[in-house]
Amino acid sequence: MSNLPFIRFLDRTTPPHIVTLVLITGMSALSMSIFLPSLAKMTAYFDTDYAIMQIALSGYLAATAVLQIFIGPISDRYGRRIMIMGALTIFVIASIGALLAPTVQTFLFFRILQAAVATSLALSRAIVRDIVSQEEAASMMGYVTMGTALVPMFGPMVGGLLDEAFDWHAIFIFLAVAGFATLILVYLDLGETVAKGGVSFRDQVKAYPELLGSPRFWGYALCSAFSSGAFFALLGGASFVGSEIFGLSPMWSGIALGAPAIGYAVGNYLSGRYSVKVGINKMAIIGTSLTILGLGASAALTLGGLVHPLSFFGFCVFLGLGNGIALPNVMAGSISVRPHLAGTASGLSGAIMIGGGAALSQFAGGILTVETGTLPLQLLMLGTAVLSLLSVLFVVWRERKIT
């Protein structure tokens, strides 16, 4: 990262330290997954249906997708710092609201409001692209997201432990405290990375069709959507699979949900280590191929009659490994198509990625029953992984055609 500007930790006049980028990105991942082991208990607490309670995930993801469409352009104009601080403030308030909610409708309102924290996820990518080149951005994103992989690895475990030690309310107390601590860190450390004056809305509108008309942008964006779609499908069905099919406790369901994050951490390290040398397209092909290999093996074992938590959750390590390698590279590619609109591109690609994830998570929960077992979810994840590989191969084909 030879072109990095001078950075001093806890000095908001300079760009943020990598630790700050890891934590603000991690808050979004934490909020997404920490409560999942408690979903069945929360359904009973509010005396509602599992499909209704699952809106806590799919509705959160849908709100995240819509939000990112607007966050990118606004941050390109007014800056990253103020948007992230505002989002964290809303997140803390929403966490307290969810904690105190007397009905499922009130809970879901505040839960969806928590999606404001996804601003940090989208803008952390834009911040990286603000300060380094495309290849260096892929490498730096690999290191940033390697750190955030620890959050979804331990988040469900922490959530399951809090549930068993107290009850599910303790999870939202934890989120409120963590959100407030992150807000203080951002106030002290995150310096503005957008050039003074930003990009006017008029200039963005004029350039937007150029971004949308780029086949490379769509190839990268769809690759990230399908790659992450397999993971979101897992999130949508994992609670049912763990509790109803395998009979796991909230704590063990949380541990099982950490399996993809182990692979994700390793994949992010490999991305950070080799993206500059190997190139973003080759790294994306390697990552998506590894995902297909692991999910294909898991589905084959189930078809062969081996149904066990290890054969299901264990092979999800490959899902995390593949995504950890592929996602930083295709994200760097999508926001580098038009570098002056990094925030807009990050927001749009994020909206495509998360919007698809919302649909897949709700669909995954709807197709699973005790009678069907895990196979429908495994085939759904495998299918989306294949589409992610085809998307990045389209980018490669397009680049060769142009040259």
Q: Establish if 258 belongs to a structural domain.
A: yes
Q: Establish if 166 belongs to a structural domain.
A: yes
Q: Look up the domain containing 319 and give its range.
A: 18-402
Contacts of 252 (CB under 8 A, 6+ apart): 160, 242
How far is Cα 394 from Cα 223, in angstroms, rounded to an integer? 10
Question: How far are the Cα atoms of 224, 227, 268, 301 from residue 380, in angstroms, in the given order?
Answer: 16, 12, 24, 15
Number of independent structural domains in the chain? 1
Q: Establish if 204 belongs to a structural domain.
A: yes
Assess whether pLDDT exceeds 80 at residue 379. yes
Q: Establish if 10 belongs to a structural domain.
A: no
How far is Cα 148 from Cα 28, in angstroms, rounded to an integer? 9
Q: Establish if 2 belongs to a structural domain.
A: no
pLDDT level of residue 2 (50, 70, 90 thresholds): very low
Q: Establish if 337 belongs to a structural domain.
A: yes
- Residue 301: CATH number of its domain: 1.20.1250.20
pLDDT level of residue 66 (50, 70, 90 thresholds): confident
pLDDT over 90 percentage in the chain: 26
> pTM above the 0.75 mark?
no
Q: Establish if 235 belongs to a structural domain.
A: yes
Asked if residues 85 and 183 have their Cβ atoms less than 8 Å apart, the reply is yes
Residues 248-260: tens digit of each pLDDT = 887 787 788 778 8
In the prediction, which pLDDT does 246 show?
87
Placement of tokens 């964006």 in the chain: 221
In the prediction, which pLDDT does 261 show?
79
Residues 163-205: tens digit of each pLDDT = 888 889 999 999 999 999 999 998 998 877 776 655 555 665 6
Residues 22-57: tens digit of each pLDDT = 888 888 878 888 888 888 789 889 998 877 888 888
Q: Establish if 79 belongs to a structural domain.
A: yes
Bigger pLDDT: 305 vs 70 = 305
